[in-house]
């Protein structure tokens, strides 16, 4: 894969003061080989070198070979160790950790529809095991990477706040992914009550390098269309409302939530407040390539209740000083530049 852009590395590395609490840390990361995970590993590798943290990262993955092939510069870093196994069954007796980031969750839309109980079991069992490990190891901090999908739609004016209502449990909730994330949060809050210093992060939507261009991520598909010179295709009428935080900022926010002691016992949204319709996002993408491409809106959707998936991030700003600095136009531009590689 192409190297990350210098401006993205600057966002990931941040300041020495931000990373100092992780000096000498031994971090266990699950779910580190997907989109969010690759950004977390990238941030760790570059910050660890830049600030000489003497930290180590144990990365749990079911397929070390695939990750090594996709991201050799991360997998081969001296401070990164790949641990092969399934989050539900892996033997971690030899793994020492001062910090845990648990993000392992299947994001396969087909599994969610066709093998929903398996998805639910992976999420719940994996969370339970990682919380147990963190407790037994006396982890200084535990970060659960949850999801904005835990909220009960529709979104209130101003976006979902951390105290907005949560949706129902399985099986009243038909989505195993949504129900599983709610269950994992409940398990984590119980561990917090028992004394484990936890933080829950609720990510929303992102754009940036590493985002798949042929999956269920609308803006990723848009970028795939534009890079191929095709009109950007919008399924439906383009009216759903979303917001997109740039991936490098997402990773910086998540590491800050692990490092900052003020985040212990708290939960935070991770995302952008800059709401756009899907059609507007498509037009931004279409204009980001040279020559610009068109936008095709199928208009087969039926307009019903407002479909708005946008967070409020006031709490993260107020308590942790985290702010979005890269707008959507610039985020898409950087993503296109990264995909096209050196000119």
Q: Indicate whether 343 pLDDT > 60.
A: no
Going by C-beta distance under 8 Å and a sequence separation of 6 or more, which residues neighbour residue 25? 53, 55, 56, 98, 99, 140
* Helices assigned H by DSSP within the chain: 6-13, 16-19, 35-51, 64-70, 72-75, 109-114, 116-137, 176-193, 218-227, 247-259, 278-286, 314-320, 328-340
Q: What is the pLDDT of residue 113?
A: 81
What whole-number distance in Å separates Cα of residue 17 and Cα of residue 111? 42
Q: What is the pLDDT of residue 35?
A: 94
Cβ distance 315 to 268 under 8 Å? yes
Predicted structure pTM score: 0.96
Q: Tell me which CATH homologous superfamily contains domain 6-207+243-272+311-321.
A: NAD(P)-binding Rossmann-like Domain (3.40.50.720)
> To the nearest 10°, the Cα dihedral for 148, 151, 153, 158?
-70
pLDDT in tens, 306-319: 799 999 999 999 99
What whole-number distance in Å separates Cα of residue 57 and Cα of residue 99? 10
pLDDT in tens, 54-69: 999 999 999 999 999 9
pLDDT in tens, 316-337: 999 999 999 999 999 999 999 9
pLDDT in tens, 87-142: 999 999 889 899 999 999 876 777 788 888 999 999 999 999 999 999 999 999 99
What whole-number distance in Å separates Cα of residue 270 and Cα of residue 27? 21
Mean pLDDT of 144-155: 96
**Residue entry with tokens 């930290």:** 55
């Amino acid at each position: 894969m192409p190297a990350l852009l210098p401006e993205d590395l600057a966002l990931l590395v941040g300041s020495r003061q931000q990373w100092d609490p992780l000096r000498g840390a031994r971090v266990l990361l699950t779910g580190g080989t997907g989109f969010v995970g690759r950004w977390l590993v990238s941030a760790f590798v570059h910050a660890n070198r830049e600030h000489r943290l003497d930290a180590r990262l144990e990365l749990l993955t079911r397929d070390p070979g695939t990750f090594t092939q996709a991201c050799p510069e991360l997998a081969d870093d001296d401070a990164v160790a790949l641990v092969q196994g399934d989050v539900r069954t892996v033997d971690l007796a030899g793994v020492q950790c001062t910090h845990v980031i648990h993000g392992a969750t299947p994001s396969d839309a087909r599994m969610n529809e066709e093998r929903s109980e398996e998805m639910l079991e992976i999420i719940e069992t994996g969370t339970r095991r990682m919380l147990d490990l963190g407790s037994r190891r006396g982890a200084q901090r535990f970060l659960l990477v949850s999801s904005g999908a835990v909220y009960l739609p529709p979104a209130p004016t101003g976006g979902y706040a951390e105290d907005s209502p949560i949706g129902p449990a399985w099986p009243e909730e038909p989505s195993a992914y949504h129900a599983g994330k709610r269950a994992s949060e409940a398990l984590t809050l119980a561990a917090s009550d028992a004394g484990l210093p936890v933080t829950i992060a609720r990510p929303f939507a992102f754009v940036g390098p590493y985002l798949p261009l042929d999956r269920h991520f609308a803006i990723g598909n848009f970028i795939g269309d534009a890079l191929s010179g095709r009109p950007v295709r919008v399924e439906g009428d383009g009216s759903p409302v979303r917001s997109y935080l740039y991936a490098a900022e997402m990773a910086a926010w998540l590491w800050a939530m692990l490092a900052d002691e003020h985040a212990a016992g708290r939960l935070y949204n991770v995302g952008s407040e800059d709401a756009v319709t899907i059609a507007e996002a498509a037009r931004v993408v279409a204009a980001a390539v040279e020559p610009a491409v068109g936008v095709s809106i199928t208009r087969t959707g039926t307009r019903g209740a407002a479909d708005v998936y946008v967070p409020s991030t006031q709490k993260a700003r107020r308590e942790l000083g985290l702010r979005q600095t890269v707008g959507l136009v610039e985020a898409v531009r950087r993503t296109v530049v990264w995909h096209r590689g050196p000119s």
